[in-house]
């Protein structure tokens, strides 16, 4: 073996069907999670403001993805004991780290969107 077992364990094996990192990958790279991470990159938002910021997301999908991101330690849910209930969401330090990766992907997509759309048109014409 060219790689130490400890190095393999730390890095994870995304290509292995049994690797638990696949579940995290699925959660982090869902469309809504990516957009939530982008929206919370530099701010703390209430649920309703987050829903407005992430256009097109249903309450159910927003709540589900926030729950997943909270379970994985990327988002902190802050509930205030007031009436009516006041809940805010912000990225944790771990969430800011993964958010930086997501920003890189989003930037790349925006910069290359015209090339991607041109390829789609070319493929559709064939």
d(CA 121, CA 110): 17
At residue 9, the pLDDT reads 56
At residue 91, the pLDDT reads 98
Can you give the pTM of this predicted structure? 0.84
Each residue's pLDDT, cut to its tens digit, for the chain (126 residues) gives 455 655 655 566 777 888 888 889 999 999 999 999 999 999 999 999 999 999 999 999 999 999 999 999 999 999 999 988 899 999 999 999 999 999 999 999 999 999 999 999 999 998
At residue 19, the pLDDT reads 84
The phi and psi torsions of 65 (rounded to 5 degrees) equal -70, -35
Domain ranges of the chain: 18-123
At residue 125, the pLDDT reads 93
Bridge pairing between strands 75-80 and 45-46: unpaired
At residue 1, the pLDDT reads 45
d(CA 116, CA 63): 31
Topology classification of domain 18-123: Arc Repressor Mutant, subunit A (1.10.10)
CA distances from 74 to 60, 77, 91, 96, 112 (A): 19, 10, 6, 7, 28
Question: How many alpha carbons lie under 13 Å from residue 32 in its C-beta half-sphere?
Answer: 18
């Amino acid at each position: 073996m060219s790689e130490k077992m400890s190095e393999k364990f730390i890095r994870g094996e995304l290509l292995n069907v049994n690797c638990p990192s696949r579940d995290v990958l699925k959660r982090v790279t869902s469309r809504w999670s990516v957009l939530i991470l982008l929206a919370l990159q530099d701010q703390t938002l209430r649920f309703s403001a987050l829903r407005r910021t992430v256009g097109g997301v249903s309450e159910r999908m927003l709540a589900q993805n926030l729950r997943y991101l909270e379970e994985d330690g990327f988002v902190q849910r802050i509930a205030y004991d007031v009436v009516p209930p006041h809940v805010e969401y912000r990225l944790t330090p771990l969430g800011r780290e993964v958010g930086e990766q997501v920003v890189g992907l989003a930037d790349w997509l925006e910069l290359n969107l015209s090339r991607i759309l041109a390829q789609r048109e070319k493929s559709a014409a064939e």
